[in-house]
């Protein structure tokens, strides 16, 4: 076969149109979706889309397979690759020996079915979107009796669907009507009886019933393929010179079609008579109903002779015959209605909302009246538009029209709208921090800085709200944070840490530390976590269960300012790494649903709370970013309902007190100094905590003491959780001079100090090296230096493990203190884990 330009062929044949000949597809935007024909499913996973080269492709997310035009023809019809190319050439209207020359209309090429080839027993119903058994089939033949096609009927729950079939050149029945002009149903009978008079009925079922009823009279009963107005696509030439009676169904549409058919047949030389249905017949009454009612052939002929009328006499007043040969189908009319509504929706939204986008190309709409910001693709925005339009017009908007309008609105927001920063619960401008009150129908927010706080009706920043977010109470001026400790079971020596953590959750320009609440059963961990969340980010579900995947953590953080996990007993290394990213900021990218060449990015920086009986955070990197607090045993319990009611009543005053502390802490922050050699990883948090202590009338060193004690506990946890760290500590105690050797040799030495019953001991030198890198920061706090010496002779990696001088500090920590402005610190340089604290000035605490 000559070389074929496959790309040119594919550009001339719509893949979506080709596939829609076989299965039902629904259009959404620029893509099509439907049920995959290659496997059974209830949810649409089959899509037709355009890739980055604007080439049409199909893909099934269930089969995890797809392809182009050739792949579809090959897989669906089960033909070889060469035959698939030939089929595509036929569809493109190109003979195999003719080069591609310009665009031509795609045509469907039919084949000749084998003699007496039966129709399928099941067919795909577009109306019901599933396969249904065939309950009736009528064969269309040519004048010589050769089979041409079938018209089949499927039925379920009393609803019928007529499906035409055509034989394709690849040897398979396809759901496709015969090309115009179509043959008459009964054409082979007309050829056998050239002088017989003819009765034209509506529908193949009626024609068959009429033939049985009039078999002894010599009358032939025929019909045409399609609905009542499809007579225009039929070849009526075989009736020229005959006497024909037209029997319409007993409804206005059938009568109107027969009147137009009578005019046409008369114009081509057919002697036509019209039959008037009885006035008491129900709609669509035809030959099949006569048989069911017990009519005989003689009675039927008598009725025909007695009800012959002219076209003018039969024409119903209410019937309005089409003015043009091509009529608009119901689908076309619905499409036009959807288009009109979509245009109105676009105009309405542009008149009522400001459209814009953020740096992730997500699109938003800001209500000009209320100032609320909504994601364009959110359910809240959709229902809000529907509600406003119904209130103003009392009209109902079609969902399809809204989806069509949404595509245009998104394009306007992205390419015509401004680039804006959109915040979730907290925000920042040059002079102030902002906290969204999240009051429905309002954009009110709290603006706060070193000078104080106030409620602003129209803030300078844009806030978007998740559907599960709840409003904050209006804070009380001159409030007090003390009632918080009536419900939050935080020990006295850790309350400064918790207050500082709450203030830090309101600042978006610094890393967010995490908070881990740990304690035995019944120590109020869940109640404490819920109370803390209700002060900064209340939610319909304040406490969430354990995430199943790392992606679940990012998804939750994408729609919540605070991630709060309940009863966590274990976090995988990947999940702990994800929380590290949440603390300092980062993103998670995944494939966009139903696409292969697009990705969805979730970029977040969020505070978090984790509570559980056992310690879930064990990785040093995450522990350095987390405040760990042990909830004490509760000696005197309160009634939970009364306790919660008291907290709800005090919450406005608690929030007001927290904001007062935050504002005073910002004012004190420029006066805070911390020796660069003593800066821990959470430098910003420590300096803010010292300022919070001063704002609460306490010594900054009290905060340092609480922070150091919590940090020592976290270091002990890392050592206890790592069998390698435990073995290193024991080895250094037994060998004060340490060891400097190849990793393989160190693994052999450490095996002598391996804890009993350990299942996670490294099995290779590389595994030991990875474990040493993870525990090195914690070991350094115990004055044990654990450093890789790189590759020595022979390419062998060496490690050195030995005691170090406690007073020695890494040069990495010798960085100048970050500049302090009106809002506080930016991101400071951090030390390795060299922060220490002693009691030399404890009298100042």
Say if residue 625 is in the same domain as residue 492. yes
What's the pLDDT score for residue 598?
A: 64
Inter-residue contact 33 to 6 (CB < 8 Å) = no
Q: Does any domain span residue 663?
A: yes
Higher-pLDDT residue of 724 and 310 is 724
What's the pLDDT score for residue 609?
A: 94
Inter-residue contact 606 to 559 (CB < 8 Å) = no
Coil vs helix vs strand at 122: strand
Strands 353-357 and 418-419: parallel
Inter-residue contact 554 to 520 (CB < 8 Å) = no
Say if residue 171 is in the same domain as residue 191. no
Q: Does any domain span residue 338?
A: yes
- Does pLDDT of 554 surpass 80? yes
Confidence band for 221, pLDDT divided at 50, 70 and 90: very high
Distance in angstroms (rounded) separating the CA atoms of residues 212 and 220:
10
Q: Rounded mean pLDDT of 300-310?
A: 75
Nearest one of 613, 626, 648, 632 to 489, comparing CA atoms: 632
276 CB burial (10 A radius; 0-12, 13-18, 19+): middle
Residue 210 belongs to domain with CATH number:
3.40.1360.10
In this structure, of 199-213, 257-271, 789-803, the range with the lowest mean pLDDT score is 789-803
Q: Measured between alpha carbons, how far is residue 41 from residues 45, 129, 776 in Å?
A: 8, 11, 52
Q: List Cβ neighbours of 337 (8 Å cut-off, separation of 6 or more).
A: 398, 401
Say if residue 24 is in the same domain as residue 57. yes
Distance in angstroms (rounded) separating the CA atoms of residues 148 and 479:
87
Q: What are the tens digits of pLDDT across the range 151-185?
A: 999 988 778 889 999 988 778 888 888 888 899 99
Last-in-domain residue among 420, 454, 469: 420
Q: Does any domain span residue 456?
A: no
Strands 243-246 and 220-222: unpaired
Inter-residue contact 528 to 503 (CB < 8 Å) = no
Say if residue 652 is in the same domain as residue 725. no
834: which 2 tokens?
């060299």
**Average pLDDT of the residues of the chain:** 82
Q: Rounded mean pLDDT of 823-841?
A: 37
Residue 742 belongs to domain with CATH number:
1.10.10
Last-in-domain residue among 627, 661, 676: 676
What's the pLDDT score for residue 537?
A: 93
Say if residue 171 is in the same domain as residue 196. no
- Does pLDDT of 91 surpass 90? no
Say if residue 524 is in the same domain as residue 672. yes
Q: How many domains does the chain have?
A: 6
Say if residue 739 is in the same domain as residue 806. yes
Say if residue 662 is in the same domain as residue 771. no
Distance in angstroms (rounded) separating the CA atoms of residues 129 and 301:
43
Q: What are the tens digits of pLDDT across the range 246-288?
A: 988 888 888 888 888 988 898 888 889 888 887 777 777 788 8
Confidence band for 820, pLDDT divided at 50, 70 and 90: very low
Say if residue 142 is in the same domain as residue 281. no
Say if residue 335 is in the same domain as residue 410. yes
Q: Does any domain span residue 684?
A: no
Strands 426-428 and 514-518: unpaired
Say if residue 511 is in the same domain as residue 553. yes
Q: What percent of the chain has pLDDT over 90?
A: 27
Q: Is the peptide bond before 247 cis (omega within 30 degrees of 0)?
A: no
Say if residue 228 is in the same domain as residue 136. no
Confidence band for 663, pLDDT divided at 50, 70 and 90: very high
- Does pLDDT of 819 surpass 50? no
Q: What are phi and psi of 679, to 5 degrees?
A: -80, 120
Q: Does any domain span residue 577?
A: yes
Q: Does any domain span residue 391?
A: yes
Q: Measured between alpha carbons, how far is residue 555 from residues 534, 543, 560, 587, 604 in Å?
A: 21, 15, 9, 11, 10
Q: What are phi and psi of 528, to 5 degrees?
A: -65, -45
- Does pLDDT of 138 surpass 70? yes
Distance in angstroms (rounded) separating the CA atoms of residues 100 and 93:
9
Quote the domain boundaries for residue 63. 6-91
Confidence band for 597, pLDDT divided at 50, 70 and 90: low
Q: Does any domain span residue 260?
A: yes
Q: Rounded mean pLDDT of 675-682?
A: 75
In this structure, of 40-44, 547-551, 581-585, the range with the lowest mean pLDDT score is 40-44
739 CB burial (10 A radius; 0-12, 13-18, 19+): middle
Confidence band for 461, pLDDT divided at 50, 70 and 90: very high
Confidence band for 105, pLDDT divided at 50, 70 and 90: very low
Residue 578 belongs to domain with CATH number:
3.40.50.300
Helix H or strand E segment including 271: strand 271-275
Q: Does any domain span residue 838?
A: no
């Amino acid at each position: 076969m000559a070389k074929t330009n496959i790309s040119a062929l594919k550009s001339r044949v719509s893949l979506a149109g080709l596939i829609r000949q076989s299965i039902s597809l629904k259009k959404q935007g620029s893509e099509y979706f439907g049920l995959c024909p290659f496997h059974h499913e209830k949810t649409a996973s089959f899509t037709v889309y355009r890739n980055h080269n604007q080439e049409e492709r199909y893909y099934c997310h269930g089969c995890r397979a797809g392809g182009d035009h050739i792949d579809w023809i090959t897989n669906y019809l089960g033909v070889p690759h060469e035959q698939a190319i030939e089929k595509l050439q036929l569809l493109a209207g190109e003979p195999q020996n003719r080069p591609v020359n310009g665009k031509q209309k795609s045509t469907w090429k039919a084949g000749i079915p084998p003699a007496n080839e039966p129709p399928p027993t099941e067919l795909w119903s577009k109306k019901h979107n599933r396969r249904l058994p065939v309950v009736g089939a009528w064969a269309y033949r040519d004048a010589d009796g050769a089979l041409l096609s079938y018209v089949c009927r499927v039925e379920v729950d009393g609803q019928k669907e007529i499906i035409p079939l055509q034989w394709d050149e690849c040897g398979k029945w396809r759901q496709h009507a015969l090309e115009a002009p179509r043959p008459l149903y009964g054409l082979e009978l007309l050829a056998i009886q050239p002088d017989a008079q003819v009765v034209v009925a509506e529908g193949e079922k009626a024609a068959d019933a009429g033939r049985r009823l009039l078999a002894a009279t010599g009358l032939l009963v025929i019909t045409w393929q399609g609905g009542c107005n499809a007579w225009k696509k039929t070849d009526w030439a075989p009736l020229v010179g005959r006497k024909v009676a037209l029997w319409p169904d007993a409804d206005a549409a059938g009568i109107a079609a027969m009147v137009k058919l009578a005019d046409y047949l008369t114009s081509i030389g057919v002697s036509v008579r019209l039959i008037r249905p009885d006035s008491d017949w129900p709609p669509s009454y035809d030959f099949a109903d006569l048989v069911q009612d017990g009519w005989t052939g003689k009675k039927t002929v008598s009725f025909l002779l007695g009800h012959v009328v002219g076209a003018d006499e039969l024409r119903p007043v209410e019937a309005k015959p089409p003015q043009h040969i091509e009529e608009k189908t119901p689908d076309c009319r619905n499409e036009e209605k959807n288009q009109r509504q979509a245009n109105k929706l676009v105009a309405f939204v542009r008149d009522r909302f400001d459209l814009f986008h953020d740096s992730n190309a997500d699109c938003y709409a800001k209500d000009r009246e209320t100032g609320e910001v909504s994601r364009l693709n959110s359910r809240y925005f959709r229902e809000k538009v529907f509600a406003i339009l119904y209130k103003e017009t009392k009209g109902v908007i079609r969902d399809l029209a809204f989806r069509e309008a949404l595509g245009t609105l998104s394009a306007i927001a992205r390419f015509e709208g401004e680039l804006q920063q959109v915040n979730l619960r907290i925000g920042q401008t040059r002079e102030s921090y902002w906290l969204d009150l999240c009051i429905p129908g309002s954009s009110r927010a709290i603006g706060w800085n070193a000078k104080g706080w106030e409620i602003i009706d129209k803030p300078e920043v844009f806030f978007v709200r998740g559907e599960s977010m709840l409003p904050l109470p209006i804070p009380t001026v001159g409030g007090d944070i003390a009632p918080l400790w009536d419900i939050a079971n935080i020990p006295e020596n850790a309350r400064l840490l918790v207050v500082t953590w709450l203030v830090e959750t309101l600042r978006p320009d610094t890393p967010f530390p995490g908070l881990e609440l740990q304690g035995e059963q019944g120590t109020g961990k869940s109640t404490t976590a819920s109370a803390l969340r209700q002060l900064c980010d209340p939610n319909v579900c304040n406490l969430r269960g354990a995430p199943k995947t790392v992606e679940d953590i990012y998804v939750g953080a994408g729609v919540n300012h605070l991630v709060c996990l309940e009863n966590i007993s274990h976090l995988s290394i990947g999940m702990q790494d994800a929380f590290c990213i949440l603390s300092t900021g980062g993103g998670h990218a995944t494939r966009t649903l139903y696409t292969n060449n697009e990705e969805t990015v979730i970029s977040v920086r969020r505070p978090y709370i984790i509570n559980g009986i056992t310690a879930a955070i064990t990785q040093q990197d995450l522990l350095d970013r987390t405040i760990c607090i042990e909830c004490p045993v509760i000696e005197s319990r309160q009634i939970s309902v009364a306790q919660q009611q008291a907290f709800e009543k005090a919450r406005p005053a608690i929030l007001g007190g927290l904001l007062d502390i935050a504002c005073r802490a910002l004012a004190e922050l420029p006066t805070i100094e911390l020796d660069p050699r003593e800066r821990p990883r959470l430098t910003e948090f420590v300096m803010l905590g010292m300022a919070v202590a001063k704002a609460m009338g306490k010594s900054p060193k009290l905060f340092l003491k609480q922070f150091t004690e919590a940090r020592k506990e976290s270091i002990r946890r890392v050592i206890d959780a790592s069998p390698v760290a435990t073995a290193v500590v024991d080895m250094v105690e037994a060998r004060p001079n340490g060891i400097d050797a190849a990793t393989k040799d160190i693994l052999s030495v450490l095996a002598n100090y391996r804890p009993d019953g350990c299942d996670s001991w490294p099995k290779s030198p590389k595994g030991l090296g990875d474990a040493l890198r993870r525990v090195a920061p914690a070991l350094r706090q115990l004055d044990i230096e654990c450093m890789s010496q790189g590759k020595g002779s022979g390419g062998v990696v060496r490690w050195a493990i030995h005691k170090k001088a406690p007073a020695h500090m890494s040069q990495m920590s010798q960085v100048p203190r970050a500049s302090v402005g009106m809002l506080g610190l930016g991101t400071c340089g951090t030390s390795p884990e060299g922060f220490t604290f002693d009691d030399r000035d404890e009298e100042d605490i």
